[in-house]
Amino acid sequence: MTFVVRPLAEKAQNVTPAVPEEARFYRQISSHLAIAPPVSIVIPAMNEAENLPYVFKSLPGWIHEVVLVDGNSTDDTIAVARELWPDVKVVPQRGQGKGDALTSGFAACTGEIVVMVDADGSADGAEIVSYVSALVAGADFAKGSRFANGGGTDDMTPVRKLGNRVLTSLVNRKFGARYTDLCYGYNAFWRYCLDDIDLDCAGFEVETLMNIRVVRAGLRVQEIPSHEYERIHGTSNLRAVRDGLRVLRVILREHGGKRHKAPAAVPGATPREGS
C-alpha cells in the first residue's frame, strides 16, 4: 500500500486530534479518496479462532490499528490474531458480554475514527471504505443497515428479522429516528461520539443503546447499506428472546430518561477462569 505523505491543510471541525499534527498524513483508501484521520478497528471476539483468518483477510491495509477484545476465549483466538496481524492490540475483557467488550475496545483505541467489526466472518472489511467515506464527508455516526437499499443478510432467521423490525419501529417512534435496522454490529463513528454514547451496558443491547444515544444527542447519523454474511464457523452467542428482551428494556429505560445500569453478567456467556 502506497501512502501519499502531505501535510494536513485544515483540521476537520469538531475533531479532537488523537495524534500530533506533524504525524498526520493522508492514507489512500480508494482510487479516488485519501483521508487524514487514523482509523481504528475494534473486534469483539469470543472463541473465534477459526473465523479470524477470514476477518483479517478482508481488512484494508491502510487502517491505523486493530484492537481485538478477547472474551476470555478458550480457543486460540489470541494466538491466531497475533499471527495474522502482528501489531494487533489485544485487550482483555473485565466483565462479560459484547457491550462490555466494546466498552473496553473503544477505550483502547487511538484512532479518530472507530469501526466495529464482528469476528464471526459475517462482515466484509471491504465495506469499511463506505463507512469511512460517509464520516469524512460529514456524518458523525455511520450506521450499517442490512435493510437499506443495497444491503442484505444471509444470516438472520425470519423470527430475528421480525423482532428487529418491531424494535426498529419502536425506536423510530420513541426517539424520532428513521432507522431501517437497529440490532446490527457493523458501525463506525468519530471517536468524539463516545462522549454522547457513554456506554453502560453489557450485552447484545449495545448497538441499540448506541443508536438511541446518537440520535438523542442530535448527531448526524448516516445509514450505510451493508451485507451480512453467514457466520462461517461456530455458533451464535445471541439468544433471540433473551437478547430481544434486553433490547426492549434498554429502549424503555432510555425513553424513560433513566441510564441503563449494566447487569452484573450476561446469562449464557461462558468466560474462562483466571485470565
Ligand X SMILES: Nc1nc2c(ncn2[C@@H]2O[C@H](COP(=O)(O)OP(=O)(O)OP(=O)(O)O)[C@@H](O)[C@H]2O)c(=O)[nH]1
Residues in contact with Mg ion by CB under 5 A are 118, 120, 122, 231
Shortest distance (Å) from residue 235 CB to ligand X = 8
- Is 113 strand, coil or helix? strand
Q: Establish if 265 lies at the interface with ligand X (CB under 6 A).
A: no
Using CB under 6 A as the binding rule, whether residue 93 contacts ligand X is answered as yes
For residue 84, the one-letter residue type is L
Regarding 246 and contact with ligand X (CB under 6 A), the answer is no
* 118/254 with CB nearer ligand X: 118
| Furthest-apart CA atoms within the chain: distance in Å | 52
Q: Which amino acid is at 196?
A: D
Nearer to ligand X, 90 or 170 (CB): 90
Q: Is 42 in the site for ligand X (CB under 6 A)?
A: no
User: Quick one: what does residue 237 bind among Mg ion, ligand X, none, with the CB cut-off 5 to 8 Å set by partner type?
Assistant: ligand X
Q: Which of 40, 54, 64, 71 contacts ligand X by CB under 6 A?
A: 71
Q: How far is the CB of 230 from Mg ion (least distance, A)?
A: 9
Alpha-carbon separation of residue 244 from 68, 80, 135, 236, 254 (angstroms): 26, 32, 29, 14, 15
Q: Which of 70, 63, 122, 65 is nearest to 94 (CA)?
A: 70
**Strands 187-190, 113-116: pairing kind:** antiparallel
Q: CA 192 from chain center: how many Å?
A: 15
Q: How far is the C-alpha of 192 from the C-alpha of 106, rounded, in Å?
A: 11
Distance linking the first and last C-alpha atoms of the chain: 37
Q: Which of 24, 64, 98, 191 binds ligand X (CB under 6 A)?
A: 98
Instruction: Say if CB 1 and CB 61 are below 8 A apart.
Output: yes
CB of 228 vs ligand X, minimal distance in Å? 7
Binding-site partner at residue 71 among Mg ion, ligand X, none, CB < 5 to 8 Å by type? ligand X
- Torsion, CA 50, CA 73, CA 63, CA 213, rounded to 10: 120
The residue (of 133 and 153) whose beta carbon lies closer to ligand X is: 153
Q: How far is the CB of 35 from ligand X (least distance, A)?
A: 26
- DSSP string spanning 142-199? EEEESSSTT-EESS--HHHHHHHHHHHHHHHHHH----S-SS---EEEEGGGHHHH--
Instruction: Determine if 231 is a binding residue for ligand X (CB under 6 A).
Output: yes
> Out of 112, 118, 127, 140, which residue is the one contacting ligand X (CB under 6 A)?
118
Give the range of 59-67, 168-176, 230-238, 245-253 binding ligand X by CB under 6 A.
230-238
Q: Is 185 in the site for ligand X (CB under 6 A)?
A: yes
The footprint of ligand X (CB under 6 A) covers 44-46, 48, 69-71, 93, 96-98, 101, 118-120, 122, 155, 185, 204, 231, 236-238, 269
